[in-house]
C-alpha cells in the first residue's frame, strides 16, 4: 500500500495526532486562500474594458464609476463574510450558513454551485496560466492541453502532501505578484505625477458617449464583478487556520480585501489614464507594464508573476473544495469517502476528485476554458446571495447586541450580490443557461444520496424485537477444474469445517472428458460427491449459476446456507496472474453481487 513512489510524491504518512501542526498561519493562509481572488486582477479590468470597447474608446471613462461600484460590493462582501466567519467558526461558508438559516435546499444549492465552481476555478485558472506560458514560449503552443494537465497533476500532488507544505512553496509567487503590481502602480503614478504620461490620452470623466445603454453598463459591471470570485474561500477554510481560527481568518480576509481593492482600482485607473485598450494578443497588464518600464527585466518580472498567480489561483480550489465536500459528506449528501483524511491528513479523496474533474474539463474543452468564465461567475454569486440572505435571517431571529448594524451590512451585501446575479442572468443568458440544468440535477443527486444512506442505516440497524431464524446447516459447493493440489487444499479445508454437505462441481466442454474425469475422481475422493455440468456455450459461469440456484432454492427452504468455495492458486510473482484464467475473479464477483451465497476463496500459494 505505501509504495515508495507514493511516499516520494506525497511524503510519509502523518499520525492523526499531528493534525495541529498542519494548520496555517495568516501569512501562508493569505497566500494560499487569496490567490484566486488576487489573480482576478490580471483579467477583471480587461473584462470591463472589453465590454465598453464595443461602444467606443470614449466610453472607457465609465470604467472608473464601475470600479467604484465593484469596490463598494467588495467592501460589503468582506464585511459580510467577516460576520459569517465569527458566526460559523467551524467553516463551511455559504453551505452551512444557508442550510442553517434558509433550510436544506438553499444550502444544497449554495453547496452544489460552490463544488462545481471550485472545479471550474481549477480548470479555468490553469488553462489561463498555460496560455500565458505558451504565449511567452511559442514552441510549446501545441502542447497546451498536455501542459495544463501536468500542472493540475503537480498542484494535486502538492495538495496531497498537505496544506502547510504546499503553502510554503506557493506563498512566494503570490507575494511576488503583489510586489510586482505594487511596483507597477507606484511607478505608473510617479510617471503621471511627473507628467511623463500626457494627460490627454483618455476622455475626461463625464464625456457624453453616443450609443451607451444601461444594459451595456450593467454588463460591464457584471464583468468587473468576476474579479470578486474567490472572496468566499476563506470562510470555507476556517478549520485550516491556526488558533484562534476565526480571528485569524477574519484578519486574513480583511487584508485580502484591502490588497484586492488597491490592485484592482490601481489597474483600472492606470489603464484609464494611459488610454490603454484591450488587444487581441496583449493583456492590459502587459501593456501597462511595457509602457511604464519598456521591455525591461521589470516587465518580464511582472509578466512572469502574473502567469504564476493565474496557475496558483487553482490552489484556492484545492483548499476550499475538500473542506466543503467534507461538510456535505458529514451530512450524507455526497459519498462518505470525502470525509476521510488521507495519509497526510488532508481530505485526499476530495483533492483527487477535484484534480480528476478539472483534467476532464480541460480535455473536454481542449484547454479553451475561457468559455466557462461566465458560468463560473454565476456559480459564485448564487452562494454569495444565499449566504448573505441566510445571515439576514439569523440576525432577525437571534437579535444579538448591535444586530441592526450587522443586519444592514448583510442586507447591502445580499442586495448587491442578487443584483449582480440578475445582471449576469440577463446580460449573459446564452452563456450561463447550463446552470439551470446542472444545479437542479446536483441538488436531486444530493437528496438521492442522503435517502440511500438513510435507507441503508435503517436496514442495518438491529432492533431488539426482530429475532432472525437460526441457521440449520451448511452446503458447500466447490467448483473443481482438475485433480490438483489446489483442489485438494480446498477439499481439506471444507472437510475440516465439518459441514453437512460438500458438493464438487466440474464444468466440462467436451463429453468425452466428462467420463474420464468422473472415473479419476471416484478413485481420488470417493467420499465427496461430484456433479458434472456440461456447457454447450463454453461458459463456466452460466451452468454453475444455474446449478447454484437449484441448490440455493432447496437450501433456503430448510434454512441452510450455501457457500461457494473457490480453490485458487496464487502465483509467486504478480505478473504471472495475467497468464492464468481469471474466471475465478469474475465468478466470485458475480455470485457475491447477484446471488445470495457466501463466497470463500481458499488460496494455494505457489512457491516458485
Q: State the Cα–Cα distance between residues 361 and 114, nearest whole angstrom.
A: 16
Q: How far is the CB of 496 from its own copies (least distance, A)?
A: 4
Instruction: Rule CB under 8 A: say whether 590 interacts with its own copies.
Output: yes
**Minimum distance between the CB of residue 4 and its own copies, rounded to whole angstroms?**
16
Provide, rounded to whole angstroms, the least separation between the CB of residue 488 and its own copies: 6
Q: Are 333 and 246 in contact (CB under 8 A)?
A: no
Nearest to 118, CA basis, from 430, 372, 388: 372
Q: Please list every residue from 341 through 360 that binds its own copies, using CB under 8 A.
A: 341-343
Closest CB 584 distance from its own copies, rounded Å: 10
The separation between CA 132 and the C-alpha centre of its own chain, rounded to angstroms, equals 24
* Cα–Cα distance, 472 to 490 (Å, whole number): 23
Among the listed ranges 146-154, 216-224, 290-298, 494-502, the one in contact with its own copies (CB under 8 A) is 494-502
Q: Does 603 bind its own copies (CB under 8 A)?
A: yes
Cell of residue 556, nine digits: 433456503
Look at residue 368 and give its three-state secondary structure: coil
Compute how many residues bind its own copies; rule: CB under 8 A.
77
**Which CB, 294 or 498, lies closer to its own copies?**
498
Q: Are 292 and 186 in contact (CB under 8 A)?
A: no
Residue (of 264, 236, 233, 244) closest to 92 by Cα position: 236
Residue 108 in grid coordinates: 444544497
Nearest Cα to Cα of residue 478 among 597, 346, 323, 316: 597
Q: Which is nearer to its own copies, 397 or 511 (CB)?
A: 511
Answer yes or no whether residue 528 interacts with its own copies by CB under 8 A. Answer: no
Choose between 79 and 351: whose C-beta lies nearer to its own copies.
351
Rounded Cα distance between 67 and 62, Å, is 9
- To its own copies, the closest distance from the beta carbon of 211 in angstroms equals 40
Grid cell 442522503 is found at 450
Report, in Å, the least distance between residue 541 CB and its own copies.
6
Choices 34-42, 271-279, 309-317, 566-574; region in contact with its own copies by CB under 8 A: 566-574
Smallest gap, in angstroms, from Cβ of residue 349 to its own copies?
A: 10
364: contact with its own copies by CB under 8 A: no
Give the residue with the Cβ less far from its own copies, 93 or 367: 367
Candidates 39, 387, 474, 506: give the one binding its own copies (CB under 8 A).
474
Contact residue for its own copies among 131, 471, 479, 527 (CB under 8 A): 471
Residue 160: which of 350, 321, 359 has the closest Cα? Answer: 350
How many angstroms separate the CA atoms of 242 and 20, rounded? 8
Q: Does 397 bind its own copies (CB under 8 A)?
A: no
Q: In degrees rounded to 5, what are phi and psi of residue 546? A: -60, -45
The CA angle 523-524-530, to the nearest 5 degrees, is 90
Shortest Å distance, C-beta 598 to its own copies: 5
Measured between alpha carbons, how far is 350 from 325 in angstroms, rounded to an integer?
Answer: 7
Stretch touching its own copies by CB under 8 A, among 295-303, 305-313, 411-419, 470-478: 470-478
Binding mask 445-464 for its own copies (x = CB under 8 A): ----x--xx-xx--xxxx--
Residues 14 to 53 in contact with its own copies, rule: CB under 8 A: 14-17
Amino acid at each position: 500500500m505505501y509504495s515508495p513512489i507514493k511516499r516520494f510524491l506525497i511524503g510519509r504518512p502523518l499520525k492523526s495526532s499531528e493534525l495541529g501542526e498542519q494548520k496555517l498561519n495568516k501569512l501562508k493562509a493569505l497566500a494560499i486562500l487569496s490567490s484566486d481572488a488576487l489573480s482576478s486582477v490580471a483579467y477583471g479590468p480587461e473584462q470591463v474594458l472589453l465590454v465598453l470597447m464595443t461602444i467606443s474608446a470614449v466610453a472607457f471613462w465609465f470604467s472608473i464609476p464601475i470600479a467604484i461600484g465593484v469596490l463598494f460590493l467588495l467592501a460589503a462582501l468582506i464585511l459580510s463574510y467577516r460576520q459569517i466567519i465569527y458566526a460559523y467558526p467551524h467553516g463551511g461558508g455559504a453551505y452551512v450558513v444557508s442550510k442553517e438559516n434558509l433550510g436544506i435546499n438553499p444550502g444544497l444549492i449554495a453547496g452544489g454551485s460552490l463544488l462545481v465552481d471550485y472545479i471550474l476555478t481549477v480548470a479555468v485558472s490553469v488553462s489561463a496560466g498555460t496560455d500565458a506560458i505558451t504565449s511567452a514560449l511559442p514552441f510549446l503552443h501545441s502542447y497546451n492541453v498536455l501542459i495544463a494537465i501536468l500542472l493540475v497533476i503537480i498542484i494535486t500532488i502538492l495538495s496531497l502532501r498537505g496544506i502547510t507544505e504546499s503553502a510554503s512553496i506557493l506563498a512566494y509567487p503570490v507575494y511576488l505578484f503583489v510586489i510586482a503590481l505594487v511596483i507597477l502602480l507606484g511607478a505608473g503614478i510617479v510617471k503621471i505625477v511627473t507628467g511623463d504620461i500626457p494627460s490627454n490620452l483618455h476622455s475626461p470623466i463625464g464625456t457624453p458617449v453616443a450609443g451607451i445603454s444601461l444594459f451595456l453598463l450593467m454588463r460591464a459591471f457584471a464583468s468587473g464583478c468576476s474579479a470578486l470570485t474567490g472572496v468566499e474561500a476563506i470562510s470555507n477554510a476556517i478549520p485550516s487556520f491556526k488558533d484562534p481560527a476565526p480571528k485569524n481568518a477574519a484578519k486574513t480576509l480583511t487584508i485580502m480585501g484591502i490588497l484586492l481593492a488597491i490592485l484592482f482600482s490601481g489597474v483600472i485607473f492606470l489603464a484609464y489614464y494611459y488610454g490603454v485598450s484591450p488587444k487581441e494578443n496583449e493583456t492590459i497588464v502587459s501593456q501597462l507594464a511595457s509602457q511604464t518600464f519598456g521591455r525591461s527585466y521589470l516587465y518580464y518580472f511582472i509578466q512572469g508573476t502574473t502567469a504564476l498567480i493565474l496557475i496558483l489561483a487553482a490552489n484556492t480550489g484545492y483548499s476550499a473544495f475538500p473542506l466543503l465536500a467534507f461538510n456535505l459528506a458529514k451530512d450524507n449528501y455526497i459519498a462518505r469517502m470525502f470525509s476521510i483524511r488521507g495519509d497526510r491528513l488532508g481530505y485526499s479523496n476530495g483533492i483527487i476528485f477535484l484534480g480528476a474533474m478539472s483534467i476532464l474539463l480541460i480535455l473536454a474543452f481542449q484547454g479553451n476554458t475561457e468559455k466557462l468564465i461566465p458560468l463560473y461567475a454565476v456559480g459564485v454569486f448564487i452562494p454569495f446571495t444565499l449566504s448573505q440572505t441566510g445571515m439576514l435571517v439569523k440576525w432577525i431571529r437571534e437579535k444579538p447586541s448591535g444586530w441592526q448594524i450587522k443586519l444592514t451590512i448583510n442586507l447591502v451585501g445580499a442586495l448587491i450580490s442578487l443584483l449582480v446575479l440578475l445582471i449576469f442572468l440577463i446580460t449573459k443568458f446564452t452563456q450561463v443557461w447550463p446552470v439551470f440544468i446542472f444545479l437542479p440535477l446536483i441538488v436531486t443527486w444530493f437528496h438521492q444520496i442522503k435517502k440511500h444512506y438513510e435507507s441503508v442505516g435503517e436496514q442495518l440497524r438491529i432492533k431488539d424485537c426482530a429475532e432472525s431464524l437460526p441457521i440449520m446447516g451448511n452446503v458447500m459447493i466447490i467448483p473443481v477444474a482438475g485433480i490438483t493440489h489446489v483442489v485438494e487444499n480446498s477439499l481439506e479445508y471444507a472437510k475440516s469445517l465439518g459441514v453437512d454437505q460438500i458438493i464438487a462441481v466440474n464444468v466440462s466442454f467436451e463429453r468425452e472428458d466428462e467420463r474420464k474425469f468422473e472415473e479419476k475422481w471416484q478413485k481420488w475422493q470417493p467420499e465427496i460427491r461430484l456433479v458434472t455440468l456440461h456447457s454447450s456455450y463454453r461458459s463456466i459461469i452460466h451452468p454453475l449459476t444455474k446449478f447454484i440456484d437449484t441448490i440455493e432454492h432447496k437450501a433456503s427452504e430448510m434454512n441452510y446456507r450455501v457457500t461457494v468455495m473457490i480453490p485458487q492458486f496464487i502465483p509467486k510473482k504478480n505478473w504471472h496472474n495475467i497468464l492464468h484464467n481469471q474466471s475465478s475473479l469474475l465468478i466470485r464477483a458475480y455470485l457475491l453481487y447477484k446471488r445470495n451465497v457466501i463466497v470463500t476463496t481458499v488460496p494455494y500459494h505457489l512457491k516458485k
